[in-house]
Amino acid sequence: MNGDWLIRGRDGRLAVYLMSDDAVLCRAERFPGGPWEAPRRIGGDQQVHPVLGLGQGADEYAHLATWWTTRKGVTGLVHSTHFRPLLAALDWAPLGHPDRKGGRTGTPAVAVDAEGRAHVFVRKGGGGVGLIVQKEKGGWEPWRDLEGQGVEEPPVAVAAATGRVEAYAAVPGGILHWSRPAQDAEPELTGSLDAPVRAGTLRALATSAEHTTVFYTDESGDLWAWRSGAKAVRLLAAAGPGPVAAVRTELDGHDCTLLAQRSASGRVAFTAYPTERESAGAWWTESGPQLPADAVVALAKDHQDRVVAAALSPSTGDLLLTRRKDEPGLALTAWQPV
């Protein structure tokens, strides 16, 4: 999965998205803070590939993108909008192929702009990045071929606080950054970073009205933060493999960035620091039980704006949840199975 698979819907309910062999499933709270429903298939009966990109707009609708292969053997990307966790999602709508035709080229990344239009980025067969953008009044614009080559999938996409969509992708020896200088302008390759980036470790977050920040792990195992136009800053040694989960939240009256990652010990590690002040320092604190090797971690805020952390094992479907207590610091409730 690529994106925020734990989200708070427009009605305040938390929901998680997960993959089965040929479908996207959604689990949601019956009411905010309440018990959870069983997983439900979304997007219709069409079988899809076991990859998923997710994004959420300011309207709190979820946008999902994946691949399917039709009965005639044609492979392409598809998109669905999920308006509320307990309502049916729209059926999968075809988006075509970034190379016009061919097989699956990579895991999509989704971000949603201020007008509620989904932007779907995906690695192309030749190693570049393709982009397709939803029209404001329905339908989709043509596929765009963005500059860049040697992309190591998957890219990550994020909407800044202004609604401007940006994307990042790892390439051999660095990271590429795309953004739209104006809402109706063509996306541009606006920055790059030379760094020994470990593929598959990128995670982007809107950290101010002006900036998004991308987190990545380098080949030596250190976790870094980078904003286009500035120097990358080392945070600390990564707790484990894979990308971090990230959310902005208020801790003891301060705007902070909270990161979480499955650690090498198998538990979930947390760290927090003042947003965009990486030089303040950070350190990991582990929490909860040991998780399966394939477990992924997500962060969100619930209907009371409390931080919620979730751990999901794709192989078993086991889901664990914890919430921040109403106490100073980052005290968490005991992890509970859902």
Over residues 44-81, the pLDDT tens digits come to 889 999 999 999 999 899 999 999 999 899 999 999 99
> What's the domain count of the chain?
1
Q: Which percentage of the chain shows pLDDT scores above 90?
A: 83
Mean pLDDT, range 250-272, rounded to an integer: 96
> What does the block give as tokens for 41?
């298939």
**With 70 as the cut, is the pLDDT of residue 136 above it?**
yes
Question: 199-222: per-residue pLDDT in tens?
Answer: 899 999 999 988 999 999 999 999
CB within 8 Å of 133: residues ≥ 6 apart: 117, 118, 119, 120, 140, 141, 144
Q: Band of the pLDDT at 328, cuts 50, 70, 90?
A: confident
What pLDDT, on a 0 to 100 scale, did the predictor assign at position 259? 98
Give the mean model confidence (pLDDT) for residues 165-172. 96
Identify the CA nearest to 113 among candidates 133, 96, 95: 133
Domain CATH code at residue 45: 2.120.10.10
Structure tokens at 277: 């002040």
pLDDT of 291 reads 94
Which stretch of 12-16, 76-80, 180-184 has the lowest confidence by average pLDDT? 180-184
181 pLDDT above the threshold of 90: no
> In the block, which residue shows the tokens 């929490």?
287
pLDDT of residue 86: 67
Distance CA 64, CA 52 (A): 7
Mean per-residue pLDDT for 120-149?
93
**What is the arithmetic mean of pLDDT over 4-29?**
93
How large a percentage of the chain has pLDDT more than 70?
Answer: 99
| Mean predicted confidence (pLDDT) in 86-100 | 90
For residue 109, pLDDT beyond 90: yes
- Domain membership of residue 271 (yes or no) is yes
Range(s) of the domain holding residue 43: 6-337
- Is the residue at 61 inside a domain? yes
Residues 6+ apart with CB under 8 A from 155: 106, 109, 121, 122, 123, 129, 167, 168, 169, 202
From residue 155, alpha-carbon distances to 32, 57, 150, 166, 178 in Å are: 32, 18, 12, 11, 11
Is 36 a member of any domain? yes
109-118, 149-158, 174-183: segment of lowest average pLDDT = 174-183
pLDDT band at 239 (very low <50, low <70, confident <90, very high): very high
End-to-end CA separation in angstroms for the chain = 19
pLDDT of residue 88 exceeding 80: no
SS3 content of the chain, % helix, strand, coil (to 5): 0, 50, 50
Please determine, for residue 184, whether its predicted confidence score (pLDDT) is greater than 80.
Answer: no
Does residue 83 sit within a domain?
A: yes
1 falls within a domain: no
The predicted pLDDT at position 89 comes to 80
